[in-house]
């Protein structure tokens, strides 16, 4: 039979959740949203058993999971990450680098480009690269390796972009650094989203960066100057300016639910992108693991360096959606929007992905009331079923 007719589901659209309708998938695309009682004899039927049908989640900021990391720079690492993601409803993600040497960064970039150009592995798609560093503040480095944090080098940036062959979608930098204005303009001219990250910028410095083209905040609240009534800093600039979409790690560890609520009230649903920022320890038992030459400790759903610094998360994006509903009080529709449409928008793919609309890629997830993933389609094909 040709395609699928998905019925008996509550469809999560961009603006509402609708029942009594079905979705027809053909040729890898969403072909129709129709009355679920219509007879579609040319399609195989997927019965959602009254569960939710959601657009596939997109994780913009993810370093690794299940023992693998994008900085491993191997096919096996990205394949492992991809197969872990799909079980959690993530149909696409950005392979995210860590501040490292130029050589290691280039290896990670080249590996991701090769993976994207190779045969599809039947799991979550690598949609591009997110370069997290190396142009950061030493003061707000967080778990970024201090020895590799560097001043902005446009020639080095050019080398990364050339190696990326159009696959670099986001780059994070500290806007207070010298040459940041040149770098932001250079990157935006190449169609790359620039994020303010690991930054100790003042409010004025951050606003200069935003006016130059910064449109994203790397893991809001984390790795940035805190808000003060006398110097509101980069945090206030990102919260106040509607041009900035704020990534947020909604695990209740990196960000308290009350501060998540502040972000939602300030930014609205249109300018928050849920991320995991997970590391290779995600999906592994509690214990000590080597991660890019450093010891990290996974315990009680937290990942920390030996000195106690938070070093990424063990969050999955379906749990982030659940947390936004249960801990923050946003609607399921809005939480899904923050995990699908907004991320797609940030990487220029909202015309193809991120929502259930006719003509878009049939990247779809069926999950229950606890946001437990049951079925995943990528490009109109079932790639996971629980």
Contact between 248 and 218 (Cβ < 8 Å):
no
Cis bond leading into 134, ω under 30°? yes
User: Could you give the angle at the alpha carbon of 144 between the alpha carbons of 139 and 149, nearest 5°?
Assistant: 70
H/E element, 313: strand 310-313
Instruction: Give the span between the Cα atoms of 57 and 329, in whole angstroms.
Output: 19
Cα separation, 148 vs 160, in Å, equals 15
Residue with tokens 């940030």: 346
Is 69 a known active-site residue?
A: no
Among candidate residues 69, 277, 292, 363, the one labeled active-site is 277
Structure tokens at 287: 């214990």
Interatomic CA distance for residues 198 and 153, integer angstroms: 17
Tokens encoding 171: 């780059």
Task: From 196, 271, 201, select the one nearest 232 (Cα to Cα).
Answer: 201
Is 123 within 8 Å of 181 (Cβ atoms)?
A: no
Q: Are 121 and 79 in contact (CB under 8 A)?
A: yes
First to last CA, the chain: 22
Token duo for residue 140: 């707000």
Question: In the sheet where 57-62 sits, what is the strand order?
Answer: 57-62, 90-96, 125-132, 168-173, 193-196, 216-217, 245-249, 272-275
Listed in sequence order, the residues at least 6 apart from 211 whose beta carbon sits closer than 8 Å to its beta carbon are none
Please report where in the chains the tokens 């778990």 appear, as a residue: 143
Q: What are the catalytic residues?
A: 277
């Amino acid at each position: 039979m040709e395609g699928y007719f998905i019925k008996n589901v509550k469809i999560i659209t961009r603006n509402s959740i609708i029942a009594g309708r079905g979705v027809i998938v053909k040729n890898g695309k969403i072909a129709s949203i129709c009355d679920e009682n219509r007879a579609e004899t040319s399609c195989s039927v997927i019965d959602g058993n009254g569960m939710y049908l959601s657009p596939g989640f997109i994780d913009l900021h993810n370093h690794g999971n299940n023992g693998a990391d994008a900085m491993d720079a191997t096919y096996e690492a990205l394949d492992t990450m991809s197969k872990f993601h799909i079980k959690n409803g993530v149909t696409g993600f950005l392979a995210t680098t860590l501040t490292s040497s130029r050589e290691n960064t280039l290896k990670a970039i080249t590996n991701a480009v090769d993976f994207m150009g190779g045969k599809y592995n039947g799991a979550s798609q690598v949609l591009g690269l997110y370069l997290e560093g190396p142009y950061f503040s030493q003061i707000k480095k967080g778990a970024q390796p201090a020895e590799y944090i560097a001043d902005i080098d446009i020639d080095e940036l050019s080398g990364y972009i050339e190696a990326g062959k159009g696959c670099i979608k986001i780059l994070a930098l500290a806007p207070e650094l010298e040459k940041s204005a040149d770098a932001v303009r250079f990157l935006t001219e190449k169609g790359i989203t620039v994020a303010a990250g690991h930054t100790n910028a003042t409010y004025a410095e951050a606003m200069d960066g935003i006016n130059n083209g910064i449109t994203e905040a790397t893991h809001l609240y984390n790795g940035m100057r805190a808000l003060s009534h006398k110097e509101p800093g980069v945090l206030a600039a990102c919260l106040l300016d509607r041009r900035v979409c704020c990534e947020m790690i909604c695990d209740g560890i990196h960000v308290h639910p009350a501060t998540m609520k502040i972000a939602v009230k300030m930014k609205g649903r249109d300018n928050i992108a849920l991320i995991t920022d997970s590391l290779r320890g995600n999906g592994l038992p509690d214990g000590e693991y080597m991660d890019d030459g450093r010891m990290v400790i996974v315990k009680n759903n937290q990942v920390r360096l030996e000195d106690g610094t938070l070093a990424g998360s063990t969050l999955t994006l379906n749990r982030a959606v659940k947390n936004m509903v249960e801990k923050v009080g946003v609607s399921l529709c809005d939480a899904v929007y923050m995990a699908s449409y907004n991320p797609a928008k940030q990487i220029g793919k909202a015309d193809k992905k991120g929502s259930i609309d006719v003509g878009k890629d049939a990247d779809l997830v069926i999950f229950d009331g606890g946001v437990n993933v049951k079925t995943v389609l990528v490009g109109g094909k079932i790639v996971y079923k629980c």
